[in-house]
Amino acid sequence: MGENVEDYKLIFEKEGVYLHTNAKRSVQETSIPGFIRIVERAGQPALEWSPLEDEGRSAPAVLYSKKDGEGGEEDTNFDPGYEPDWAVISTVKKDREHAPIKDSGQWAFSLPLSELYSLRRARFSLGRNFMVLTSRGGHPLPPLHFHRGGTRELLRALHRYIVLDQSPVDGRLFLVYPRDSSSADFGPSFDKLHIPDDGSDIVTRFIHDPYATTFGGFSKVTNFFRAALRPPEAAVMRGAQDPGLPSQPDDEPGFELITCGVELGPRPNVTRGQALVQWEEFLDSEGRVKDPEKVKDLVFRGGVTPNLRKEVWKFLLGFYPWKSTSKEREEILRFKTDEYFRMKVQWKSVSEEQEMRNSLLRGYRSLIERDVNRTDRNNTFFSGNDNPGLTLLHDVLMTYCMYNFDLGYVQGMSDLLSPILFVTQNEVESFWCLTGFMDLVHQNFEESQEAMKQQLLQLSILLKALDPELCDFLDSQDSGSLCFCFRWLLIWFKREFSFEDILTLWEVLWTRLPCDNFHLLIACSILESQRGELIGSDHDFNTILKHINELTMKLDLQSVLLEAEVIYRQLVGCKDLPRQVKQVLGLCGPPSPAEESPDSQSSETERLLGQAEGGAASSHVPSCP
């Protein structure tokens, strides 16, 4: 295709921009690398994308719509692969004449900027940051992902031709207006739009791998992180939007907004107790623990004295049943030892040649070796080179991969094992204690991140009920997502307290008293302790994040535990506590299927399952009123 060079001018070019042909079905390999360009053809600016393999050819027009000589028809078979919720705003006049969109057999496109209606940062449920472009005819272009960054540079270059105006309905949507003499002063300046670069910054790293990014330190986070994680403005402005528009799907099912105007009442007086210092007195003649609940209560109130931890932890973490006799525990230890070494042999016997053909095992080993070399190296048990403690740490984690190959190894698991190994100083016992710990927190490490997301939502629910003023302040600074608590919840405050304090904190949490989510109340306690520093200050998102991050090793554990229990008792004592708060505290079960869908007609199987679940729930917690 010959083109007069005088009619063509390249304004902007960026390599490494991937077009995703089906973003919703991301399990398929549907990414096409290419170039994004702004060009002028005969003085008319256009935005073009072309794949690397098509370099040297002019970009055709959008391929997935058809126009015939009479005005054409749209190809309705094209599936963009993502939910076009932005399309509700892409309304145009029916009598408007649009530039023709030619058919092509390739994914490349060329869109005149006069036909660009909007651009949108896609939601994170797609797994990455995407930019979605919409034409004035309502035609969606496939999502683009800037793997090497460059979105801000692109938009800055576009700003010489168009004006971007943030939608009042959806903060991720930017409407496009032509820039001419009559609109030179229309709309905000580019710098005021706060559009993040979707490249290899900390936002993208957090979305792809929140674990590694979290451990890397949130103190480095900039405004990009705030812009990416702030709650969508659509949820805030729901009451002001056009009633003809459908509701935004960003709301989390099962969680309603809590505007807790309930009077919680005064906070009760609570005292901590002494550490558990006697063990034999709790055992009967055959070695059974006579009163497990009494032991748990003592541990919750004061922890365990160091010389008893090795024994008590094995009960708290399920290695030994509370009602087992001394003889039964000897048998359990023999059986568990054999089982452990059978699993250890599995990975130890894999040859280098075999491992070269097992990328998953090879990947686990690489991650473990990297993390072991930087886990608690200041502790004498793990310090120095060729330390046998490091070898044990490595071998236990590798064996856990054999025990739970679906989960394998995720960064942060070495942090959970090191205190256990330090206390037991036994390979087999530390492994089975780790499996007991992972039974409590394994969902934190699952790839879907749903458990972490739910815990942050539950923490928000508690904080809204406890301290609406603090929540309002955090929301006003785009910190309402509580993303800075991610590391706290992921590894149960392992990086926030000293090693010795963590031993006490974890044994308290392992009692599961006074509720399973006591770790969320500890987070509330820490945030409450900082409200005076935060509210009324000049803090913004960045300085809030920095302040919270700098609390590491500065918190007093006993004060935090005391205040967390005070908060629990204050909430439990409230007669009009919202149901969502009760559910988080374990005071009642989740809503029954009948409550969630009263008009639904369940099948017999669903009815029986609902009865079984209801029976199980009623045996543990009461139903909510």
Q: How does pLDDT run across 26-43, given as a tens digit for each residue?
A: 444 467 888 899 999 888
Question: Are 459 and 514 a contacting pair, CB within 8 Å?
Answer: no
| Predicted pLDDT of residue 156 | 86
Average of pLDDT values for 220-247?
39
Residue 114 has pLDDT above 70, yes or no: yes
pLDDT at 123 over 60: no
Query: Coil, strand or helix: which one is 229?
Result: helix
Q: Mean pLDDT of all residues in the chain?
A: 76
CB burial string 345-382: b at 16+ within 10 A, e below: ebbeeeeeeeeeeeeebeebbebbeebbeebbeeeebb
Q: Map residue 35 onto helix, strand or coil.
A: strand
Q: Which of 31-45, 296-310, 407-421, 585-599 is the least confident region?
A: 585-599
Average pLDDT over residues 183-188: 46
Please write the tens of the pLDDT for every residue from 234-265. Answer: 333 333 334 443 344 333 333 334 444 568 88
64-78, 265-279, 288-302, 550-564 — which is least confidently predicted? 64-78
Q: Name which of 116-120, 544-548, 611-615 the model is least confident about.
A: 611-615
Residues contacting residue 194 through CB under 8 Å, at least 6 positions apart: 223, 227
SS3 of 555-601: the string is CCHHHHHHHHHHHHHHHHCCCCCCHHHHHHCCCCCCCCHHHHCCCCC
DSSP string, 105-120: SSS-EEEEGGGEEEEE
Burial class for 547, CB neighbours closer than 10 Å (0-12, 13-18, 19+): middle
Average pLDDT over residues 394-419: 95
Nearest-5° angle of CA 73, CA 76, CA 79?
A: 140
| Both tokens assigned to 387 | 């330390």
Tell if the pTM clears 0.95, that is, is over it: no
**Domain 450-585: homologous superfamily in CATH:** Ypt/Rab-GAP domain of gyp1p, domain 3 (1.10.472.80)
Q: Which residue has better confidence, 233 or 567?
A: 567
Tell me where in the chain the CATH 2.30.29.230 domain(s) lie.
1-53+106-206
Looking at the domain that runs over 279-439, which CATH code has it been given? 1.10.8.270
Residue 316 predicted with pLDDT over 70: yes
Quote the distance between the C-alpha of residue 535 and its chain's center: 26
**Cα atoms found within 13 Å of the Cα of residue 560, Cβ hemisphere only:** 25
Phi, psi of 310 (to 5 degrees): -55, -35
The candidate with the shortest Cα–Cα distance to 305, out of 333, 277, 347, 324, is 277
Check pLDDT > 70 for residue 215: no
| Residue in this structure with the two tokens 């005076």, named with its chain if needed | 532
Q: Is the pLDDT of residue 219 over 50?
A: no
Q: Say what the pLDDT of residue 328 is.
A: 97
pLDDT-based confidence at residue 416 (cuts at 50, 70, 90): very high
Asked whether the CA dihedral 487, 493, 494, 496 is positive or negative, the reply is positive
Predicted confidence at residue 495, as pLDDT, reads 92
Dist CA 372 CA 418 (whole Å): 9
Q: What is the mean pLDDT of residues 263-291?
A: 93
Rounded CA-CA distance 373/376 in Å is 9
**CA dist., res. 415 & res. 594, Å (int):** 42
Q: Look at residue 74 in the predicted model and tell me its pLDDT.
A: 34
Confidence of residue 205 (pLDDT cuts 50, 70, 90): low
pLDDT confidence of 218, banded at 50, 70, 90?
very low
Q: What tokens appear for 269 in the block?
A: 């007086």
pLDDT at 423: 97
- C-alpha 131: how far from chain center: 21
What is residue 340's predicted lDDT score, i.e. its pLDDT? 98
Q: How confident is the model at residue 17 (pLDDT cuts 50, 70, 90)?
A: confident
Checking if the pLDDT of 307 tops 50, the result is yes
Phi–psi pair at 83, nearest 5 degrees: -75, 115
CB 623 within 8 A of CB 588: yes
Q: How many CB atoms are closer than 10 A to CB 42? A: 10
For the chain, residues classed under CATH 1.10.472.80 are 450-585
Share of the chain above pLDDT 70, in %: 68
Spatial separation of the C-alpha atoms in residues 221 and 212, rounded to whole Å: 14
Query: CATH 1.10.8.270 residue ranges in the chain?
Result: 279-439
* Complete edge-to-edge strand list for the sheet that includes strand 44-51: 109-112, 44-51, 31-41, 8-20, 144-146, 131-135, 116-121, 173-178, 162-166
The tokens for 87 are: 């399309």
Termini Cα distance of the chain = 73
What CA–CA distances, in Å, run from 206 to 99, 203, 320, 601?
40, 5, 38, 42
Residue 436's pLDDT is what?
97
Half-sphere exposure of 158 (CA within 13 A, CB side): 31
Q: What CATH architecture is 1-53+106-206?
A: Roll (2.30)
Does the structure show a pLDDT above 50 at 203? no
